[in-house]
Amino acid sequence: LKKQHIIPVRKHTGVKYIVCMREGKDVLASFYPFFAAHRQEFKDMWGGFPPTFPNWDANFNFFTKEQKGFYHGYAAAWWPYRNDPNVLVLHYNDLKRDLKTQLVRIANFIEVQVPEAAWPKIEEKVGLPWMKAHEHIFKYDVPFTGFGNVMKDDEGSMIRSGGVGDGKDKLSPEQEKIWEQLNEEFFGPQPGLKDWILTGGPIPPVAPSEAGSMKQPLLQK
């Protein structure tokens, strides 16, 4: 992922962006079955994308060799904009740890007044049990094409475990080294990102070393 591929955040200050990030190994564990759960007809339409990986190693190679920016580049490109007034950065772990607090952050960010009595129902409907029971409404299609649902009909093709730590202990020692090198390459130059992306928590303030990048008007070519 390159900076010119990011939406021009600072050019469109009236547009609000919600960006969610997640610990990288959990992303690997999530995308492995998610890619495979797409209908073959949809994959054929897009030249074989998303790929169905024959094994975990192929999944790992996609994120670390074939598409290095798919995860690492995405997080690194958005990080300098984490404190912009029209950007809200969320962490998956925080959503799991304290859902209500994160929902309130989202509501405040988009300036929606939520009656206190409505929160229990909202929390229920964004919770994993309710989403699993109504999985069909979360499967997506290609608008205006008549293609229909792009996901397989199998239960769990869209809503899976929703856990934290799914990627733990899945990497070999050699893969751990490669992953850490990518973390350093992409996250090292971004103050605070390398630690924050592991667990979430309060968003770090802009560091003095980032002052120059903050003067850039937008992310685009």
pLDDT exceeds 70 at position 166? yes
Residue type, 35: F
Q: How confident is the model at residue 213 (pLDDT cuts 50, 70, 90)?
A: low
Cite the DSSP H helix spans in the chain.
24-36, 40-45, 56-61, 74-78, 92-97, 99-109, 119-125, 128-133, 173-182, 193-199, 211-214
Q: How confident is the model at residue 182 (pLDDT cuts 50, 70, 90)?
A: very high
* pLDDT at residue 176, as a whole number: 97
- Say if residues 113 and 122 touch (Cβ distance below 8 Å): no
Question: 122 versus 221: which is more confidently predicted?
Answer: 122
Distance CA 73, CA 174 (A): 21
* pLDDT at residue 48, as a whole number: 93
Quote the distance between the C-alpha of residue 73 and its chain's center.
12
What 3-state class would DSSP assign to 192? coil
What's the farthest any 2 CA atoms get from each other in the chain? 51
Task: Dump pLDDT digits (tens) for 75-128.
Answer: 999 999 999 999 999 999 999 999 999 999 999 999 999 999 999 999 999 999
- Say if residues 186 and 76 touch (Cβ distance below 8 Å): yes
Among candidates 90, 34, 20, 24, which has minimal Cα distance to 63?
24
Question: With the C-alpha atoms ordered 57, 42, 69, 127, is the resulting torsion angle positive or negative?
Answer: negative
Average pLDDT over residues 175-192: 96
DSSP assignment of 52-69? --SSHHHHHHIIIIITTI
Task: Dump pLDDT digits (tens) for 143-152.
Answer: 887 788 899 8
Q: How confident is the model at residue 211 (pLDDT cuts 50, 70, 90)?
A: low
pLDDT exceeds 60 at position 218? no
Distance CA 99, CA 60 (A): 30
What 3-state class would DSSP assign to 149? strand
* pLDDT at residue 1, as a whole number: 47
Task: Dump pLDDT digits (tens) for 22-78.
Answer: 999 999 999 999 999 999 999 998 999 999 999 999 999 999 999 988 999 999 999
